[in-house]
Amino acid sequence: MSEQLMTYFSWIVMAATVALSFIVVVAKWPIFGAISLIGSLLTAAILFVMLSAPFTAVTQILVYAGGILVLFIYILMLLGVKRSQWSRGQKFALFGLFFGSLIFTCVPLLAVLQPNVAASGFAAVADDFGSIEKFGKSLLAGYAYPFELMSVLLVAVIAGVVYLTRRDE
Amino acid sequence: MNLYLVTGFVVFLIGAVGVLFRKDAISLFMCVEVMLNGINITLVAFSRMWGDMQGQLAVLFVIGVAAAEAAIGLALMLQIFKHKGSIQLNELTDLREMRD
C-alpha cells in the first residue's frame, strides 16, 4: 500500500519537474522562468531523495537552487530584461520541435528496447547507499584528484570574475 | 525503461529546445541550467539502478562546474550590458561579417 503511494507520489513529482522546466522555456518574463527553475530544482531534489541520494539532494538545494539561481535573480534584477514575445510561427515551431523530437526518439527506443514497464529495475543496495559517509569515502578513495582540481577551478573562477567586473579607472 | 530516465530525458529535451528558441542571453543561460538538471536526474537514476556511487559523484562535479560556469557567464553578461546596453541576441552582432 505504501509502495503504491510512493509510486503515485513519484509520478506527481516527475510531472511537476517537467511542467516547471517547460515554464522556464516559455515564460514571458524571465523572472518567472528563474522562479520556476528553482521549483524544478527542488522537485528534482525530491526525486533524488527517492532515488537514495540524500546528500546529492541537499547539495543541489544548497548550491544550485540556493547559490546559482539566487545569483541569476540578482543579475535579472540588475539588467532588467525585457519580456519575450513569441510570434505565432515561433510557438508552432516550438511545439512541433518538442513533440516531434520526443516522438522520434522515444518511439524507436521503446520499440527496440521493449522495456518492462512494471519492474523498476533497481539493484538491491545497502541501507546507507548515498549517505554522506559512503559518499565521502567513495569520493576521497577514487576521486581525490578531480576533487582537488575542482577547488583549483573555483579559485580560477573567482579570479576571473573579479577581473571581469573591475572598474575601468 | 525506468520512468526516472524518461523524466531526465524529457527535461533535457525541454532545455535543448529552449536554448534554440530563446532570444535574450539570460533566459538562454537558464535553459542550459534546465538541461543540466535533466542530466543530473539521469545520472542519479542510473546510479541507483546499478548500485554504483559514481553517478552521484559525477552529479557533485556537474553541480560544481555549473556553479563556476554560471558565475563567469553572468559576469560576462554584465560586461556586455555595460558596453552595449542590451543582451538581446539579435543586437549582439559585432562578430558578424559585413555582407555585400
pLDDT of A118: 44
The beta-carbon neighbor of B7 closest among A17, A113, A130 is A17
**pLDDT in the model for residue B22:** 86
Residue A124, C-beta contacts closer than 8 angstroms, at least 6 positions apart: B51
Q: Which residues pair with B88 in a beta bridge?
A: B24
A117 or A70, greater pLDDT: A70
- Contact call for residues A60 and B56 (beta carbons, < 8 A): no
pLDDT in tens, A18-38: 999 999 998 888 999 999 999
SS3 sequence of chain A: CHHHHHHHHHHHHHHHHHHHHHHHHHCCCHHHHHHHHHHHHHHHHHHHHHCCCHHHHHHHHHHHHHHHHHHHHHHHHHHCCCCCCCCHHHHHHHHHHHHHHHHHHHHHHHHHHCCCCCCCCCCCCCCCCCCHHHHHHHHHHHCHHHHHHHHHHHHHHHHHHHHHCCCCC
How far A67 CA sits from the closest chain B CA (Å)? 8
* Between A97 and A118, the higher pLDDT residue: A97
Q: What is the mean pLDDT of residues A61-68?
A: 94
Do residue A84 and residue B68 have CB atoms under 8 angstroms apart?
no
Chain A residues within 8 A of B76 when measuring between CB atoms: 164
- On chain B, the residues whose CB falls within 8 A of the CB of A27 are 27
Q: Do A139 and B60 touch (CB under 8 A)?
A: yes
Q: What pLDDT tens digit does each residue of chain B (100 aa) get?
A: 578 888 898 899 999 989 988 888 899 999 999 999 999 999 999 998 888 889 999 999 999 999 999 999 999 999 988 888 877 887 777 777 766 5
Nearest to A14 by CA among B98, B100, B4: B4
Which of A48, A90, A97, A154 to substitute to test the interface with B, most B CBs within 10 Å?
Answer: A48
- Residue B71: which of A71, A122, A135 has the nearest Cβ? A71
> B-chain residues within 8 Å CB-CB of A130?
47-48, 53, 56
Q: Are A35 and B30 in contact (CB under 8 A)?
A: no
Nearest residue of chain A to residue B42 (CA atoms) = A48
CB contact under 8 A, A75 and B6: no
Decide if pLDDT at A43 tops 60: yes
Look at residue A48 in the predicted model and tell me its pLDDT: 94
Residue B24 CB burial class (10 angstroms; 0-12, 13-18, ≥19): buried
Residues of chain B with C-beta less than 8 angstroms from the C-beta of A10 = 3-4
Residues in chain B closer than 8 A to A139 (CB atoms): 57, 60
Q: Decide if the complex's ipTM is over 0.85.
A: yes
Question: A121-125, A153-157, B45-49, B63-67: which range is least confident on average?
Answer: A121-125
Which of A13, A105, A89 minimizes the C-alpha distance to A50? A13
The more confidently predicted of residues A122 and B46 is: B46
Is the pLDDT at A101 greater than 80? The verdict is: no
Q: Is pLDDT of A141 > 70?
A: yes
What is the amino acid identity at position A102? L
B95/chain A closest Cα distance in angstroms: 20
> CB neighbours of A128 closer than 8 A, spacing ≥ 6?
A134
